[in-house]
Structure 1
Amino acid sequence: MAMIKILVGTVYGSAREVADALEPIFAAKGHQVEISEDPEVSDLSDSRYQAVLISCSTSGSGDFPPNFIPFYRQLDQQRPTLSHLRYGLIALGDSAYDQTFCEAGSKIERLFGQLGANRVGQRLDIDASEHFQASEAALPWAERWLNHFEAERSV
């Protein structure tokens, strides 16, 4: 059993809806989940968490939701080493905004990579133009992500 922290960046609630939909899937496999819409850099070094999952929408012109901006700025300024961190990433956006589609997810993924974090599985980009309910796209991905996560833990 693992403890997984889900950090949520949301404006209209879709990213939180995704996090809430994933919790029972993780719990059914014996994992505990903590969800936060007020992420802190300290969440990334908390030894209680074996993984961090980010569910973050893109707003404006490729920006982070207001609740996620302080976290991202603090992380970028402090630049802690994250080589111990295993993470997953769900980016929400709208492909109608072609140039900035899921840009917030791309930004956090770049920064995590620069800081040495280890992504588990592939990033999921959810297009609001294709999925009215973002959680519908996230559920099959979550099953695959958990399989990758559990396989890595057993090695």
Structure 2
Amino acid sequence: MISKVNAICLAVLMIAAWFLAQWTEGVWWVAPPSAARWWMAAGSLVAYGLLCAWSLRNDSVTKTSTTNFTSVASEQVTENRPATSANDDSVLVVYASETGFAEELAQQTLELLRAAGKVVELLPLDELSVEQLQTVPHAFFLASTAGDGEPPVHAFEFAEEVMSSKHDLSSLTYVVLALGDSSYDEYCAFGRQIDAWLQRCDAKAADERIEVDDADPLALSAWQALVEEFAGNAQPSL
């Protein structure tokens, strides 16, 4: 900016000198300078002009570099910006199934929620990650119990490696459907374990855990009512 001002001032002074010279009659210099001094003066003017031109070029390069850097920095900030939070309608439906019944109920739960316009993903427990639970606002868990209170075979690894630790799931709201048979001592044990683990991770239960004794239709109706209440949409029975 300063170089531009200098160049403009120099141009104005040269124009003013030319006009003044036109108004002067006779010899306008009391002691005309020698040729060597004329050359020195001309050289000084040329040097000054070159200096101004060089300064203007540097200003332009600096501004271009600054603009490019700002653009790159802006792109980097955009790239490093965390992903936006999940849609409020996003739901995970997660199942742990031994005989296929929990998976069937999970599929029907998925259909109820999608019919209400929810964004739903269906996953077996062994494909679920803590990161997914930390990025969705809602989750429906349907879990059966095998043997003496054990998780279904495909859920063993999740139970041992993930549920053995506490994670921050404070942004998650969930409900649990536990499937079992009261003739066994460890009735609905794995569903209860999932519920207890989620509470330990500070997740918020949207409703009390529903326990289904040997496909009890009343308990299944209660689950359907819970899902429909969340979905805000009445559908055929589960």
TM-score w.r.t. the length of structure 2 is 0.54
Equivalent-residue separation in structure 1 for 2:108 and 2:222 (angstroms): 11
Map of 2:226 onto structure 1: 141
Map of 1:104 onto structure 2: 190
RMSD: 2.1
1:49-107 deviations in whole A, cap 9, x for unaligned?
A: 2211111101110111111121222223442111111111111101111x211111111
Equivalent-residue separation in structure 1 for 2:204 and 2:162 (angstroms): 16
Map of 1:41 onto structure 2: 130
Equivalent-residue separation in structure 2 for 1:129 and 1:15 (angstroms): 10
Distance 1:137 1:96, change over 3 A: farther
Map of 2:207 onto structure 1: 121
1:88 is the counterpart of 2:175: yes
Bigger helix fraction: 2
- Written as runs of structure 1 = structure 2, the 5 A alignment for 1:5-84 is 5-37=92-124, 38-45=127-134, 47=135, 49-84=136-171
1:105-143 deviations in whole A, cap 9, x for unaligned?
A: 111111111111111112111111634xx8666323322
Structure 1 runs of 4+ off > 6 angstroms?
none
Distance 1:15 1:27, change over 3 A: same
Name stretches of at least 5 consecutive residues in structure 2 with no aligned partner. 1-87, 233-238
Letter in 2 for 1:127: D
Distance 1:32 1:100, change over 3 A: same
Structure with the bigger RCO (C-alpha within 8 Å, sep 6+) is 1
SS at match of 1:68: helix
1:3-30 deviations in whole A, cap 9, x for unaligned?
A: 1111110111111111111112112221
Equivalent-residue separation in structure 1 for 2:202 and 2:222 (angstroms): 28
Equivalent-residue separation in structure 1 for 2:101 and 2:223 (angstroms): 11
Q: Is the 8 A contact 1:8 1:16 kept in 2?
A: yes
Equivalent-residue separation in structure 1 for 2:182 and 2:167 (angstroms): 32
Equivalent-residue separation in structure 1 for 2:231 and 2:215 (angstroms): 26
Bigger strand fraction: 1
Instruction: Please identify the structure whose Cα radius of gyration is greater.
Output: 2
Name stretches of at least 5 consecutive residues in structure 1 with no aligned partner. 148-155
Q: Is the 8 A contact 1:8 1:39 kept in 2?
A: no
SS at match of 2:139: strand
